[in-house]
């Protein structure tokens, strides 16, 4: 059975779910929060060490400002209401992304990271204003400035994921088979599952089924056996 330390998820399909069920994209974002809670629970039960959630991409700024504001308000409320509970469950929260939010949200994110920084059960990496191309360009620029060689080990030190192992498993919900600028470097050898269900419909059972399928995969990493 393959070990599983890090699951990364592209949580896609909220907008379509919201339009279909409540005639509002934003209602889908709200419904998606419940799925996040379910997935956190399964991750804790299965002793997964890292759960990375793609919540907002560097390209998502192209969306209508009303939707963007709704999303960030939702995140603010979620953190405000749930951070103590996450902390009680020994969950560590880490934001990976290019922080550029309102003063209030920035403070809340920093406070949440600080509060949970010594927790050792599950680390939730919240990919917020995250983009893989920007992350890589940023890392290369730092290497150049520091006059360091462009090696794999050196580069890794300047990625936003510097202290996070590469994910063994990537899931994208929402019936779309693309990566949308997510962790392009880190998923070089990741097993990828594209799930038809929209994120708010994705549940514990679906997650467990994917975990079980992943565990049985023969992973070669280029060699033969
Ligand atoms: C993913 O759901 C959540 C974010 C990008 C914030 P979408 O909002 O992309 O939902 P669809 O893909 O339009 O249905
Ligand atoms: C990817 O979903 C980003 C997140 C889930 C945060 P998008 O809905 O933004 O991706 P595209 O635009 O369909 O590629
Ligand atoms: Mg989408």
DSSP assigned state of 201: G
Q: What is the pLDDT of residues 78-102, one digit of tens each?
A: 999 999 999 999 999 999 999 789 9
Instruction: Output the furthest CA–CA distance in the chain (Å, rounded).
Output: 54
Cβ of 180 below 6 Å from ligand 2: yes
Q: Which of 14, 26, 60, 125 is catalytic?
A: 60
The alpha carbon of 12 and the centre of ligand 1 are apart by a number of angstroms equal to 5
Tell me the H-state helices in 46-186: 65-88, 103-116, 132-145, 152-156
* For the CA of 68, the nearest ligand: 1
From residue 209, how far is each of 64, 171, 186, 203, 214 by CA, in Å? 35, 12, 23, 10, 9
The rounded Cα 72 to chain-centroid distance in angstroms is 16
* CA 211/CA 199 separation, integer angstroms: 17
Ligand nearest to the CA of 67: 1
CA distance 13 to 119: 31
- What residue ranges define each of the domains in the chain, with the CATH number in brackets? 6-132+169-215 (3.40.1180.10)
45 is annotated as an active-site residue: no
Q: What is the pTM of this model?
A: 0.98
Residues with CB under 5 A from ligand 3 (ion): 12
60 is catalytic: yes
Substitution candidate for ligand 1 out of 16, 179, 197 with most atoms within 8 A of CB: 16
pLDDT digits (tens, 9 = 90+) for 135-193: 999 999 999 999 999 999 999 999 999 999 999 999 999 999 999 999 999 999 999 99
């Amino acid at each position: 059975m393959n070990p599983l330390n890090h699951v990364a998820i592209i949580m896609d399909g909220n907008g379509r779910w919201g339009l279909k069920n409540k005639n509002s994209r934003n209602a889908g974002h709200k419904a998606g929060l419940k799925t996040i809670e379910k997935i956190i629970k399964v991750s804790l039960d299965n002793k997964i060490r890292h759960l990375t959630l793609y919540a907002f991409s560097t390209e998502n700024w192209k969306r209508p400002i009303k939707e963007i504001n709704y999303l960030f308000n939702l995140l603010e409320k979620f953190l405000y209401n749930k951070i103590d509970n996450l902390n009680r469950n020994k969950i560590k929260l880490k934001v990976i992304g290019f922080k550029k939010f309102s003063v209030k949200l920035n403070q809340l994110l920093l406070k949440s990271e600080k509060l949970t920084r010594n927790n050792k059960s599950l680390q939730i990496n919240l990919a917020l204003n995250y983009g893989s191309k920007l992350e890589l360009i940023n890392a290369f620029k730092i290497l150049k400035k520091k006059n360091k060689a462009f090696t794999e080990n050196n580069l890794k030190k300047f990625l936003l994921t510097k202290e996070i192992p590469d994910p063994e498993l990537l899931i994208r919900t929402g019936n779309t088979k693309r990566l949308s600028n997510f962790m392009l470097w880190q998923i070089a050898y990741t097993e990828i599952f594209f799930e038809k269900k929209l994120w708010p419909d994705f549940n514990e059972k679906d997650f467990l089924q994917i975990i079980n399928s992943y565990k049985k995969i023969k992973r070669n990493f280029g060699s033969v056996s």
